[in-house]
Amino acid sequence: MTIELILKNLDAIEIQKYQQNRYPCFFVDFIEEVIVGKSAKGFKNFTFNEWYFPAHFADEPNVPGFIQIETLTQVFLMTFLTFPENKGKKTGFVSVNNAKFKKKIIPGNRLDIEATLDSYNRGLAKGRVSGFLNGELACQIELIVAVPDIMTQFTPKI
């Protein structure tokens, strides 16, 4: 029998115990559920006060694509940074594939995010994440993220 470890209702303070992203590069408000090693659900509220809206764009504020990717990713990180040995470790992108941006995200929107971890081995996490606005798909990515501290334990020493 496999026992699933489930975490519920993590606020921004709790989330930051698991990942090192900080303002102005911290893009998750709340994690509703993490099934450790499997999935995570959370959301981000985009307010008019976000630092990038004045620049993107002054007359038509909307969330830049790279921030959508980072937002999706930060929920994905929770699927494997919740392994006890990974808690609080830094991560890095290996690849982002099949990114799709279907809806414009504007001030006042709440993006609901669902992340799935397809595999995690030796510091390398593969998975997919989708973001929804009012239940409709807004953006999605497939990605591979590395935990360098773990991965370097398995690389040849030269």
Partner 1 sequence: MSNLDKYTKVFTEVFEISKEQTSNLKYQSIPTWDSIGHMGLIAGLESEFKITLEPDDIVDLSSFEKGKEILQKYKIEI
User: Which residues contact partner 1 (rule: CB under 8 A)?
Assistant: 94, 121-124, 146, 148, 151-158
How far apart are alpha carbons 149 and 158 in whole angstroms? 17
Angle at 136 between CA 130 and CA 139, to 5 degrees: 35
Residue 152: CB minimum distance to partner 1, A: 6
Residue 151: CB minimum distance to partner 1, A: 6
Nearer CB in complex with partner 1: 58/158? 158
How far apart are alpha carbons 28 and 11 in whole angstroms? 9
Nearer CB in complex with partner 1: 106/151? 151
SS3 category, 74 = helix
Task: For residue 76, give both structure tokens.
Answer: 């994905």
56 in active site: yes
Q: What are residue 145's DSSP bridge partners?
A: 93, 125
Nearest Cα residue to 79 out of 10, 151, 132: 10
How far from 35 is each of 10, 23, 81, 86, 91, CA to CA, in Å? 13, 26, 11, 15, 19
Provide CB contacts within 8 A for 134, sequence distance 6+. Answer: none
Residue 154: CB minimum distance to partner 1, A: 5
Nearer CB in complex with partner 1: 24/92? 92
Nearer CB in complex with partner 1: 103/128? 128
Residue 27: CB minimum distance to partner 1, A: 24
Looking at 56, 110, 126, 128, which residue is catalytic? 56
Catalytic residue list: 56
